[in-house]
Amino acid sequence: MRFMIIRKADAETEAGLMPSEELIAAMGRYNEEMVKAGVLLDASGLQSSTKGARVKFSHGKPTVIDGPFTETKELVAGYSIIQVASKDEAIEWVKRWPVEDSHGAAYIEIRQLFELEDFGPSAAIDRMIEVGFSDKKQDQ
């Protein structure tokens, strides 16, 4: 099972502050442990919402709103994709999240990803596999 580990934003990530050397080292050790355990598939950090935008659709018509966005704690600051045997295993990994992050107060959301098999037989899914879409799924 794959899970997306979402690190929610805080005032510092939204201010565009770069992580300290200590935090980079701690996250590096944590990610290395997950790589060694064969768990980590991907990890990326997002720039602050100042550099982003939202596209809102109302009855199919798009409206673009440039960042920054205010509800900081609901924003995504970064994510990892992990492959584990259960949700409990995902939670156990997240509990080991480095205390150096967010001054020991990081807020993390764990979400299970859909696998193509979850959709059952589907011509649309078959077509997506045919055009190489399944290579774009973040699995090994």
CB 94 within 8 A of CB 6: no
Burial class from Cβ neighbours inside 10 Å (0-12, 13-18, 19+) for residue 96 reads exposed
Smallest separation (angstroms) from another protein to the CB of 139: 9
Beta carbon nearer to another protein, 85 or 131 = 131
What 3-state class would DSSP assign to 67?
coil
Question: For residue 24, what are its two tokens?
Answer: 């980079």
Distances from the Cα of 60 to the Cαs of 53, 63, 121, in angstroms? 18, 10, 28
Q: How far is the CB of 28 from another protein (least distance, A)?
A: 12
Interface positions with another protein (CB under 8 A): 2, 4, 6, 15-18, 42, 44-47, 49, 51-60, 62, 64, 69, 71, 74, 76, 81, 87, 90-91, 94-95, 97, 99, 101-102, 104-114, 118-120, 122-125, 127-128, 131-133, 136-138
Report, in Å, the least distance between residue 66 CB and another protein. Answer: 9
